[in-house]
């Protein structure tokens, strides 16, 4: 299974380079002492990303459980500011782990509510969380979470649009 860091490495390579295949074979440590077809098959297995749905709010990454924050309207100023800063860097593939870490944070036990909860957003912890995700998160989980984010943003924008249309209609009456 491909990890997030592997995906980021592949995106740094020049796909037009004549050494592209060599870089991949070396990086994924595929044995060259086999037939060409077997080398390609092994490489494809290591680079395979399974497409899966993210229909829950938690994901196991390495030996830790993470919870995904679902309500974008409830984000803090620090979260919004961090998101804005990372998106402004224009290298979203290299920053994928940083983007995910804004809304996907470790699970902690909330003793006041006596239930599992998401770790509060803290700028001081973000670099550690994002590096942990980069090293340990499977690309299929990162992919599923990013699709979840996109769907959630789309739904939020539709709700805003409906609200605006209703306000306009109300103003006309």
Q: Are 28 and 43 contacting, i.e. CB atoms less than 8 angstroms apart?
A: yes
In a domain, 38, yes or no: yes
pLDDT of amino acid 166:
82
Looking at the fold, whether 15 and 85 belong to one and the same domain comes out as no
Mind listing the pLDDT tens digit for each residue in 68-124?
887 766 778 888 888 888 888 877 788 889 988 988 899 999 898 888 888 888 888
Give the rounded percent of residues in the chain with a pLDDT score beyond 70: 97
Quick one: 39 and 62 in the same domain?
A: no
**pLDDT (mean) for 4-14:** 89
User: Would residue 53 count as lying in a domain?
Assistant: no
pLDDT over 80 at 9, yes or no: yes
Q: Tokens for 100?
A: 């995910």
Specify whether the CB–CB gap between 118 and 107 falls below 8 A: yes
**pLDDT (0 to 100) of residue 15:** 78
Task: Look over the chain and give the mean of its residue pLDDT values, rounded to a whole number.
Answer: 86
Specify whether 69 is located in the same domain as 26.
Answer: no
Residues 157, 93 share a domain:
yes
State pLDDT tens for residues 109-133.
989 888 888 888 888 899 999 999 9
9 within a domain of the structure (yes/no):
yes
Edge-first strand order for the sheet with 64-68 is 58-61, 64-68, 104-110, 115-118
pLDDT at 137 (0 to 100): 93
Are the CB atoms for 7 and 133 separated by under 8 Å? no
Which of 68, 170, 163 is CA-nearest to residue 119? 68
pLDDT at res. 158: 76
* pTM to 2 decimal places: 0.78
Domain that holds residue 26: 4-47
Q: How many domains does the chain have?
A: 2
Calculate mean pLDDT across residues 2-27: 89
Q: Are residues 10 and 63 in the same domain?
A: no
One domain, residues 43 and 78? no
């Amino acid at each position: 299974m491909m990890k997030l860091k592997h995906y980021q490495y592949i995106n740094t390579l020049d796909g037009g380079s004549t050494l592209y295949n060599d870089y991949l074979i070396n990086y994924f440590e595929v044995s060259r002492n086999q037939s060409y077809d077997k080398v390609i098959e092994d490489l494809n297995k290591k680079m395979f990303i399974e497409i899966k749905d993210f229909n829950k709010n938690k994901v196991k990454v390495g030996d830790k459980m993470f919870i995904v924050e679902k309500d974008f309207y409830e984000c803090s100023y620090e979260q919004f500011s961090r998101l804005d800063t990372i998106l402004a860097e224009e290298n979203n593939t290299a920053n994928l782990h940083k983007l995910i870490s804004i809304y996907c944070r470790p699970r902690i036990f909330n003793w006041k509510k006596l239930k599992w909860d998401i770790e509060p957003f803290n700028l001081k912890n973000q670099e550690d969380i994002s590096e942990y995700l980069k090293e340990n998160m499977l690309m299929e989980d990162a992919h599923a979470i990013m699709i979840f984010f996109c769907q959630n943003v789309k739904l939020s924008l539709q709700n805003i649009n409906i609200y605006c249309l209703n306000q306009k209609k109300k103003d006309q009456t």
